[in-house]
Amino acid sequence: MSLEDIIRPDLEPLVPYAPGLRASQVRERSGRDVILKLSSNEHPCGPVPAAITAMEAVLHRMNRYPDGAASALRWKLSEKHGVPLEQVVVTNGSNELLRLVAQAVLRPGDEVIYPWPSFIVYPMVVNIFGATHVKVGLDGGDACHLDDMLAALTERTRLIFLCNPNNPTGAIYDRKAFARFMDAVPAHVLVVVDEAYFEFVTDERYPDGLAWLDGERPVVVARTFSKIYSLAGLRVGYGFMPEALAKAIDKLREPFNVNTVAQIAAYYSLDDEAEVRRRRAENQEQKVYLYSCFDRLGVSYVRSEANFVYLKTERPVEVFQGLLEEGVIVRDFGNAPALRVGIGTPEDTALTIAAFEAVAARLGAF
């Protein structure tokens, strides 16, 4: 028997997650010193000062295992959001949460409804657990199409992923639409609302997924410290869900799934509400500058509630390459007619706008 026979054959057609280009790769290729990596929806600033101080202080204790229950962090999240402690789960990035939720509920043949284009991890977890893909296109505003998702429900639907704001488009569905949706979803279906970017939202019609968590209803709200809190490198995400599901996940997760540095940094990050407000306001301001650049250049884009902007172009490969030559890394989607540009600091925005103008001067309209 060969190794090929030992490895699960259904893994053969799957592809690993493809991260965006790293700044060092582009620096080598372009010969430029200043490289802007705007391809992974990261925050341009480092962690908040209290988190850095706390992380530095804990480094000499790395001989000890982490608190396997992440008690302090879970307690703080519970207090902050008014959710009972038993309904708070902390994970190695929200990525792990999405996978654990799927692992807890999916049997082979179960159907999973998810929006598309959206976060690549949804189809990945469907593959991992041998479930059936039910991909639903976005609505006219490039948000999750809640009515079409309802129309796709069957007896075999087990799970629905919603992404709000949606990655990569940044568009949201509103409170009214969500209420209609939640009223119509049958009890045999778990709804996972992925709110990785909720802290950036400024539109008042945005629905808070937590409003639907009553401890009984099959709903999960997934969030992360990777985005506005700048802790992407530490991997710490969290979710709110009924206690029965939290208990099931506790049986599946690794015993020490969130490391000590991550727990401490996340704990202290939660105190800095003023910095979160500042980051949200700055993100909003920079997006508006970028929109005005796109308007000037005649580039079509989706108005975003997140820290990135989705632009539509019939020449994605040329624009992507052109921006790389200018030292700006954006996210491409193969041959799909779109690119996603992350929002950075005011200095980053100035460089991004200059790069788009240079590419437009070379390529003409795109």
Which residues are near ligand PLP by CB under 6 A? 41, 93-95, 119, 163, 167, 194, 196, 224, 226, 232, 237
Question: Which residues are CB-contacts of 184 (< 8 A; sequence separation ≥ 6)?
Answer: 150
The helix (run of H) or strand (run of E) holding residue 239 is strand 237-240
CA atoms of 151 and 132, how far apart (whole Å)? 16
C-beta of 40 vs 321, nearer to ligand PLP = 40
Identity of the residue, 16 or 31, whose beta carbon is nearer to ligand PLP in the bound complex: 16
Distance of CA 29 to the CA centre of its chain: 29
Shortest distance in whole angstroms from residue 21 CB to ligand PLP: 15
Q: Pairing between strand 219-224 and 36-37? A: unpaired
The percent helix, strand, coil of the chain (3-state, each to 5) is 45, 15, 40
- Tell me whether residue 94 or residue 230 sits nearer to ligand PLP (CB atom): 94
Rounded least distance, CB 118 to ligand PLP, Å:
7
What is the C-alpha to C-alpha distance for residues 324 and 271, in angstroms, rounded to an integer? 38
- Taking the complex as a whole, the smallest distance from the CB of residue 95 to ligand PLP amounts, in Å, to 3
Task: Report the nearest approach of ligand PLP to the CB of residue 98 (Å).
Answer: 7
Question: Are the beta carbons of 326 and 266 closer than 8 angstroms?
Answer: no
How far is it, in rounded angstroms, from Cα 46 to Cα 52? Answer: 9
Task: Name which of 196 and 360 has its Cβ closer to ligand PLP.
Answer: 196
Q: In the bound complex, what is the minimum distance in angstroms from residue 354's beta carbon to ligand PLP?
A: 26
Cβ 73 to ligand PLP shortest distance, Å: 14
Which DSSP category does 20 fall into?
P
- Minimum CB separation of residue 237 from ligand PLP in Å reads 4
Nearer Cβ to ligand PLP (119/129): 119
The count of residues in the chain is: 366
Shortest Å distance, C-beta 270 to ligand PLP = 15
Nearest-approach distance from CB 310 to ligand PLP, in angstroms: 12
Give Cβ neighbours of residue 215 (< 8 Å, ≥ 6 apart): 84, 87, 242, 243
Q: What are phi and psi of 362, to 5 degrees?
A: -80, -45
Pick the closer one to ligand PLP by CB: 88 or 359: 88
Alpha-carbon distances, residue 365 vs 112, 318, 327, 334, 342 (angstroms): 39, 11, 20, 20, 21
Output the residue with the shortest Cβ distance to ligand PLP: 93
Residue closer to ligand PLP (CB basis): 61 or 80: 80
Q: What span, in angstroms and rounded, lies between the C-alpha atoms of 233 and 276?
A: 18
Is the CB of 225 or the CB of 268 nearer to ligand PLP?
225
The three-state secondary structure class of 65 is coil
**Cβ neighbours, 10 Å, residue 155:** 7
Nearer to ligand PLP, 125 or 360 (CB): 125
